[in-house]
Amino acid sequence: MARTGTPGARLTVLSGPSGVGKGSVVAEIRRHHPSVWLSVSVTTRKPRPGETDGVEYHFASEEEFTALVAEGKLLEHAEFAGHHYGTPREPVERQLAAGLPALLEIELQGARQVREAMPQAQFVFLAPPTWDELVRRLTGRGTEDDETIRRRLDAGLVELASEKEFDVVIVNDRVEHAAKQLVELL
């Protein structure tokens, strides 16, 4: 069951294994509901083709990322597949303080940190319809080398086992359907 929170000011955390389609689901939501506020994460990985700094991610050097962590400017941060990711704290707090809902799209490590910091948030796990489909999606991207794919699949096994830690599970069998379910939760 979804947790209840302050109407209109709830933080929703979307997580799931790499390649499950978190970004695709969020893009579908934003296409039909552009007013949905999404936190833009900081990462040390290089931009993929078509990604723009400040839109999909804030791209940072290792040194810049380390400084954000040291200064307490990240709500959560994690290392995943050899890169660091984190959520800037101030924009999320500003959104919630204004009484508006906020959406985070983050990995499992980060979701666990947010649960510690903000247990009243709603935690949503996006699951693949099958393991084979997850493998197909990850290898079909064509954006990563074999070693990175292997690391993401290894992490995916662990992440799938964490499904029970979440308040709600949405199976991403069709992006449009998963996006509709998530919007209903927001």
Q: What does the pLDDT profile of the chain (186 residues) look like in tens digits?
A: 333 334 456 899 999 988 788 988 998 998 988 888 999 999 999 998 899 999 889 999 999 999 999 999 999 998 877 899 999 999 999 999 998 889 999 888 889 999 998 999 999 999 998 888 887 877 776 667 788 778 878 888 888 889 999 999 999 999 999 999 998 888
In a domain, 5, yes or no: no
pTM above 0.85, yes or no: no
Distance CA 97, CA 100 (A): 7
Q: Print the domain residue range for 85.
A: 11-185
CA within 13 Å, CB half, 57: 21
Nearest CA to 67 out of 55, 84, 46 is that of: 84
Q: How far apart, in Å, are the Cα atoms of 61 and each of 46, 55, 69, 70, 88? A: 9, 17, 13, 14, 15
Helix (H) or strand (E) holding 78: strand 74-80
From edge to edge, which strands make up the β-sheet containing 58-59?
A: 58-59, 42-43, 83-88, 74-80
In a domain, 172, yes or no: yes
Amino acid found at 111? A
Give the pLDDT score at 1. 34
In a domain, 81, yes or no: yes
CATH number of the domain within which 65 lies: 3.40.50.300
In a domain, 116, yes or no: yes
Domain count, the chain: 1
* β-pair type (168-171, 122-127): parallel
